[in-house]
Structure 1
Amino acid sequence: MCGIVGAVSTRNIVPILIEGLKRLEYRGYDSCGVAVHQNGQLRRARSTARVSELQLNVESDGVASGTGIAHTRWATHGAPAVHNAHPHFSHGPGSDANTATSGRIALVHNGIIENHDELRFDLKNKGYVFDSQTDTEVIAHLVDHLYDGDLLDAVQRATLQLRGAYAIAVFCKDEPNRVIGAREGSPLVLGVGEGGAEHFLASDAMALAGVTDQIIYLEEGDVVDIQLGKVWISSRTPEGRVYGATAATAAQAFKPVQREVRIVHAHTGAAELGPYRHFMQKEIFEQPRAIADTLDAVESVTPELFGDGAYRVFKDIDSVLILACGTSYYSGSTAKYWLESIAKIPVSVEIASEYRYRDSVPNPRQLVVTITQSGETADTLAALKHARSMGMNHTLTICNVATSAMVRECELAYITRAGVEIGVASTKAFSTQLVGLFLLTLSLAQVRGHLTEAQELAHLKALRHLPVAVQAVLALEPQVMAWAEEFARKENALFLGRGLHYPIALEGALKLKEISYIHAEAYPAGELKHGPLALVTSEMPVVTIAPNDALLEKLKSNLQEVRARGGELFVFADSDSRIESSEGVKVIRMPEHYGALSPILHVIPLQLLAYHTACARGTDVDKPRNLAKSVTVE
């Protein structure tokens, strides 16, 4: 979602700030801005266009400085408009909110401040002028109100009054060459420049690619003070973590801490489009390589694939709880079928954003599995912390970012190697998640005595053949493109699947609605006659996943139900499923049946269908409206 870049240096850092924003564009945004300390004043440029437009404005206005912050915003509080765009300036009593250089405090913020209304009411009574509808502007005014010559002290005291999630970067007109950052619930990293002479802040290490590879991952409650040649990190004490704590000074609520400097080589080349029309198309076609890379170090099935101590954990558990959101939730739903049929272990799959807000029965012997592409998904992190607070300490994550908060928070981890995923609609991250979850299934089956040596060898052989099998499915693209021309004229679609392909139908429907804006729903095919069949007409395309498995004959009966009501069927069928094209029935034949791993193959044409339908409708494929890549707020 929102992106932050900040810097303190002896050189002009505006080009670095702008380039950092460009590297964060993949996260999704609807406005952007930059603010600097220039000639003793705060200067700012903001735009509801793309970062490239902001760059032109900054260059034409001569904005340049060694101290500054920049931001891409995905709207939560307040519409996507320039006056709601970050950075925000403070406007104390008697100030003019409409002057571009007015104000004493400049601030950018990721996250949501839950008590912004009460803080706004109090600050308005103190004479502060509000220029936006955002919760962020409240923080800028609060810091200004608490400022007494030391920006670090003001930010520390301000954070004690904030309830919610935030990552912020702040600087003050009265203190050049100084930026303060703070985080609670949203990611923020510190970049150490060459020789320690300059320092950077960012919400994602990728924003600093090419600038520095020395990264410090700030932890919950950290506040960082960056100056020329100096970095100072403090963190909340237990007393300071209590909302509303009445520490006489900020020094009582914070203590100095040391954080590890890591060498992180961000993938600068991953953002190159190459010969593809969109990043989503590129990432669809990168799946054979992503799957091969994810399997690269797998020579045998062993619990140690998931970290030291995994065997002990796997022996101790009696069930699995999967927590995830969006596409990751559907990968977890697929894994439920694998885990229960192959590993013979009970599985619950929960939407992370719902799990912590309901009463549930904790089980200390349950393995809590989180699934997240970014490792920073706020709802999933919060659900994990909720589970741990109830004594469920056996935790494992399937994640694509080894340095993410989720990996640091979990006892065990399997890192997928999909590489950076730019398109908002997930493709290669999803397929590699499924690979990781299948390996988890085999490892648990082995520990529980449900995997013979012959079965292990057969499954490993199938996994190693997956990249070739996926490549064969990608060759179906021209046939899918023909279907997409028809779908582009529709406004509704149904997706059907049975068994472990039902979650794949859900994922296919999600992809279509995400990027083409066609309303799409997915159902278990057996549920048609329990309601959805009422929607079926000649104007309602029905996409069906038809693998040659034990449920095929049942599925054929469901297809007849659709045809009898005049519905038009679009069937992805295995080559030996004996489903033929006819009037009202269009069939694309998959190259081969792939047994338990069939969902990984069948999701590929659904991705292609969504992609080419969106292209035919002329939508913004990589940055669909209202959506963000990394959902770091609730």
Structure 2
Amino acid sequence: MTKFDPQMLKETRQAPEVVARQLRENASLTAKIAQAIAERRPPFAVTVARGSSDHACTVLKYAIETGLGLPVASLGPSVHTLYGAKLNLAGALVLAVSQSGASPDVVENVRMAREGGALTVALVNVEDSELAQAAEFTLPLRCGEEKAVAATKSFIASLTAFLPVLAQLEGDQQLGAALNHLPQHLAQTLELEAQAADLAERYRFADNLILLARGLNYGVAQEAALKLKETNGVHAEAYSAAEFSHGPKRLLVEGVPLLGFTSADAAWPATQQAYADLQGSRADLRTLGPAEGSTLRTPATGHPLTDPVCSALAFYLFAAHLALHKGLDPDQPPLLSKVTKTR
């Protein structure tokens, strides 16, 4: 291991205690939100977020749609803030995710939705932020201060904050048990840091990288692509393993390497076949996740909704060490700051 230990890695390693604190301190809030959703029976849900928070919403979309059968759409914040449209969100469940709670366009959309009769829930780390005040309900991420520009522990917390609500609404005891054991599984994932660093070393000269996934892991792949851009200056893009086999597959001829996320859920057989086909085409493909045979195999957590959390954590270890292999400081990405306010 290198002697330089960036803030990004230090905060990544806090994930187990963050999730444990969140589960413990949000219990009463979780019950209230689950009760409100059960009583109001929203016909659909929308998410409002940007950047890493929006990628967490992609994971939540799959979680809500597969668990509750509730359609989920991603709201374009500028539809209201720039174009002046007031969307009809009466009765909808509106989930806004933000580490800082300071982005004006997210705040304004939540305010509009609440005034229009939506059930609004903010997943936010800064509990006295404008976003927290604008929403009817708040689920704190419980991360403590996050100093690194590249969000890590706040993304992990964004993945887990709403899962106890789903467990209660679905009466899913398996999910409840998986959440209770998740801090332990995250701690086991941190033990893979040396393996993650070894895997990262082989990509040290890569200028481009494609991330592949399906279903619950697709949002994690989106987040992975963003982190590679932020911390490594690598041109990375995320694709569905199904969609990549169309036009993007042409990039294999150029030798672009691939990193695929694996799973232990209903999406895995189709994803596994897609990866096998790519390897048959001599693609440079390595894998990360809980499936047997993964290049970097993460702990199985006991539920499809919690497995991606460990995969995200393992990827953060990979990304930080890739930056170190490249001689970069992941805490000092050029042109970027911690909070970006958009309208």
**What is the TM-score of this pair, normalised by structure 2?**
0.91
User: Gapped runs of 5+ residues in structure 1?
Assistant: 1-274, 446-450, 581-586
Counterpart of 2:235 (choices 486, 497, 519) is 519
Separation in 2, partners of 1:372, 1:578: 34
Deviation at 1:342, TM superposition (A): 1.6
Q: How does 1:19-418 map to 2 (within 5 A)?
A: 277-297=5-25, 303-304=31-32, 306=33, 311-312=35-36, 314-316=38-40, 317-353=42-78, 356-357=81-82, 361-388=87-114, 391-418=116-143
Q: Which whole-Å deviations, capped at 9, do the CAs of 1:238-282 have from their partners, x for residues lacking one?
A: xxxxxxxxxxxxxxxxxxxxxxxxxxxxxxxxxxxxx97111010
Counterpart of 1:605 (choices 314, 319, 328) is 314
Partner SS for 1:318: coil
Evaluate the alpha carbon distance shift between residue 633 and residue 538 of structure 1 in structure 2; reply closer, same or farther with a 3 A threshold: closer
Q: Which whole-Å deviations, capped at 9, do the CAs of 1:85-112 have from their partners, x for residues lacking one?
A: xxxxxxxxxxxxxxxxxxxxxxxxxxxx
Aligned to 1:482: 198
Separation in 2, partners of 1:281, 1:566: 33
Deviation at 1:414, TM superposition (A): 0.8
Separation in 2, partners of 1:538, 1:590: 30
Deviation at 1:506, TM superposition (A): 0.8
Aligned to 1:503: 219
Aligned to 1:553: 269
Structure 1 position 588 matched with structure 2 position 296: yes
Deviation at 1:591, TM superposition (A): 2.6
Separation in 2, partners of 1:471, 1:353: 39
Q: Which has the higher strand share?
A: 1
Deviation at 1:562, TM superposition (A): 2.1
The structure whose Rg is larger is: 1
Aligned to 1:27: none
Deviation at 1:537, TM superposition (A): 4.1
Q: Partner amino acid for 2:311?
A: H
Q: Is the 8 A contact 1:496 1:544 kept in 2?
A: yes
Structure 1 position 536 matched with structure 2 position 252: yes
Evaluate the alpha carbon distance shift between residue 287 and residue 354 of structure 1 in structure 2; reply closer, same or farther with a 3 A threshold: farther
Separation in 1, partners of 2:329, 2:77: 28
Q: Which whole-Å deviations, capped at 9, do the CAs of 1:388-414 have from their partners, x for residues lacking one?
A: 46x144221011111111111111111
Computed over aligned residues only, the root mean square deviation of the Cα atoms, in angstroms, reads: 2.3
Aligned to 1:472: 188
Partner SS for 2:123: strand
Q: Partner amino acid for 2:39?
A: K
Q: Partner amino acid for 1:597?
A: T
Q: Is the 8 A contact 2:104 2:342 kept in 1?
A: yes
Separation in 1, partners of 2:44, 2:185: 32
Deviation at 1:566, TM superposition (A): 2.6
Separation in 1, partners of 2:199, 2:322: 8
Q: Partner amino acid for 1:599?
A: P
Separation in 1, partners of 2:136, 2:28: 22
Q: Is the 8 A contact 2:260 2:285 kept in 1?
A: yes
Separation in 2, partners of 1:408, 1:300: 18
Separation in 2, partners of 1:355, 1:466: 38
Separation in 2, partners of 1:537, 1:632: 40
User: Gapped runs of 5+ residues in structure 2?
Assistant: none
Q: Partner amino acid for 1:615?
A: L
Separation in 1, partners of 2:104, 2:244: 35
Deviation at 1:314, TM superposition (A): 4.7
Partner SS for 2:239: strand
Deviation at 1:608, TM superposition (A): 1.2
Structure 1 position 614 matched with structure 2 position 323: yes
Q: Is the 8 A contact 1:509 1:520 kept in 2?
A: yes
Partner SS for 2:255: coil
Tell me: higher relative CO, structure 1 or 2? Use CA pairs within 8 A at least 6 residues apart.
Answer: 2
Evaluate the alpha carbon distance shift between residue 504 and residue 458 of structure 1 in structure 2; reply closer, same or farther with a 3 A threshold: same
Q: Partner amino acid for 1:387?
A: A
Quote the sequence identity (%).
28
Aligned to 2:164: 439
Q: Is the 8 A contact 1:340 1:347 kept in 2?
A: yes
Deviation at 1:301, TM superposition (A): 8.9
Q: Is the 8 A contact 1:425 1:622 kept in 2?
A: yes
Separation in 1, partners of 2:310, 2:229: 21
Separation in 2, partners of 1:597, 1:477: 19
Aligned to 2:293: 579
Q: Which has the higher helix share?
A: 2
Q: Is the 8 A contact 1:373 1:399 kept in 2?
A: yes
Separation in 1, partners of 2:192, 2:204: 19
Separation in 2, partners of 1:369, 1:524: 24
Q: Is the 8 A contact 1:301 1:439 kept in 2?
A: no
Q: Partner amino acid for 2:103?
A: T
Evaluate the alpha carbon distance shift between residue 407 and residue 473 of structure 1 in structure 2; reply closer, same or farther with a 3 A threshold: same
Q: Partner amino acid for 1:374?
A: S
